[in-house]
Structure 1
Amino acid sequence: MMDSNDLGSEAKRGFISQGWTRISQIYQGLLDKWTPHMKSRWAAAIILLLAFVLRIFLMQGWYIVTYALGIYHLNLFIAFLTPKIDPAMDLDGDDENGPALPTRASEEFRPFIRRLPEFKFWLSVIKSTLFAFCCTFIDAFNIPVFWPILVMYFITLFCITMKRQIRHMIKYRYLPFTHSKPKYKTVESTVSVN
């Protein structure tokens, strides 16, 4: 037989579950509304990053948080530039140098699919920047460091990582960016109207 306390706790769990489900639906709805607006999303992300940098500059602290955020964003950017199926790890290639993307019209077309899609890249940048922004309000994260060393180390790490990524792009002949969709000319019937 069920006790009245069990019914009350199940009702509480049901209420909490329904509330959490509703919050998840609202959150997903907001994300769905933002999805087609790429330029607006990235503008918001840049504004948020500038607000974070302004806070760091004015408060003169939290350099470790800034460094960690920079490393995380670099990691996201590298995943954004890398193909989902890494040609270096693909063992099915016929070429002795490994598989490559098609370079001729007679070869099979394989579109570039990112390891980290653009929307997830943007969402991760927003979430991580908000988290880092919140960390700047906690004094425990304000660890005193000599920040020029962190800046030099980040620049060195960025250069080495990007050099390796560019070599990978050249070796496997892929370009992760497309400027615009190809536009095909239509053949118009030439009918002279007299």
Structure 2
Amino acid sequence: MNKKILVILLIVLVLVWGLYFFTMEDDKGVVEQNPQEQDNVVDDVEDTIGESANDDITELAIDKLAPNFTLESLQGEEVSLEDYRGKIVLINFWGTWCQYCDKEMPDLQRLHEENDDLMVLAIDVMEEREKVEEYIKKGGYDFKVLLDTKGEVARTYLVSGFPTSYFVDKDGILLGGVSGMMTYAQVNQILESIRGN
């Protein structure tokens, strides 16, 4: 139980720091995309995620099993969260149009390469496969990328902005989440806390 409290406190600290950081950031440098197209994608995602009023979505329960999902990867395989029991899982919700997601991606790649006990599941929300494939290929990323084409998993995980990340321990227990971009150092601190207790 001490491990879980420490991880949750660390995630809250990262979240508070991230909110301060984002208020200081300049809004320039959005991934190349037509501004009208970007607005349309954002509106579609927000509309879909916001449609939970008629859905039976329960609040995410920290210290309980993370909601399982099965999505298609860019390679066309069916991937489920429960496939990765025995590993720490970083679930990252993102979009190609999101400037903070773009800044976070190289750190996700580095974390993926350096941590054998970590599985990065980068879930793109409601974009065309071709656009996601082009973005991933251009960035040279090789972590697992999944397609949430209808935004259903994002709704289940109560995602309200991008990027949003969740941490799941080796037993499949949801430890908590962070809304906003995280740095390599911040994620490493969280991973050390998860491993340490």
TM-score when scaled to structure 2? 0.21
Pick the structure with more strand per residue: 2
Normalising by structure 1, report the TM-score: 0.21
Q: When you count helix as a share of all residues, which structure comes out higher?
A: 1
